[in-house]
Structure 1
Amino acid sequence: MKLLSYSKINIYVYFIISASMVLIQCRKDIDTTDPNTSIPLLVSGGVYGVVTNELGVPESEVSVSHNGTTIKSDKNGIFILKDQLLNKAGAQIKFEKQGYYIINKSVIPIKDKLVSTRVQLVPRKVIKVFNSNTGGIVATNGTAQVSFQPSSIIDAAGNI
């Protein structure tokens, strides 16, 4: 009888060890490198162009920046970014001026050439103000409207 107990114990131990080995071997491989990540191909070149406001009037003193280099547009809205290392697939140029939204424009560079672009700034305008506790309706151009229910606006911290 005692011999039979040891036999059962051995079977249980063997089964537990076998099951553990199977579970250990069947884990998902975790690859920490992204095979789709590639190093951007950079080309030397530049970007020039004109910055206008919403009426199409040239806008001066607009900050134009790329990869740590910042210049200002002149009185005619003209800017020239020379001698830049630009991503061949598309370089991001940033345009900033107080009172306007920040514009990020993508340009496709040509090696050792200046490429041109035009940018129209969009003004930051308050269209309607309403009390978030009571709600309100904001209409745009008379064709669309957005209705806000009372206390439906929250800030980044989750406060009403």
Structure 2
Amino acid sequence: MPSADHAATFAKAEKICHDNGVKLTVKRKNVLGVLLNSDKPLSAYEIADIYRTTHHETLAPMSVYRMLDILSELPLVHKLSSENKYLACSHITCSHTHQVPQFLICKSCGKVAEKGIQGSVIDALKESIKLADFQLLNSQIELQCICNDCAKSSSS
């Protein structure tokens, strides 16, 4: 069972699912719990391994992918395309309208920070893309960075 530390997150996730006509099944909730308890993004295979250890039940990676697809559409989970890994949305319990996510990914330790992008920035990108005769398919931005902790460690 997911940790009690995330009770408010699961309550909000349940509401988001209900409002979108999706059932937050026990397995989906447990997969979300694995991501909430992780300090780094995880692949579907890593999620399946942690799920097996934590819940003493085998979950096929293909089932994990299907659950992640559903959770991503809500969006309770985000996929980092550059890493082919997933993380729980850091704004599940927020009541404000979410901005387009920008992910800062530390190439040294794998830590990820999720930040919102102002609409004006996305509008400017869309205009630039349109002028280049392209169409934007996904406005999520993933920036390869180094976190301050790793930067301090490497300069010592």
TM-score normalised according to structure 1 size: 0.21
Instruction: Give the greater-gyration-radius structure (CA).
Output: 1
Larger helix percent: 2
TM-score normalised according to structure 2 size: 0.21
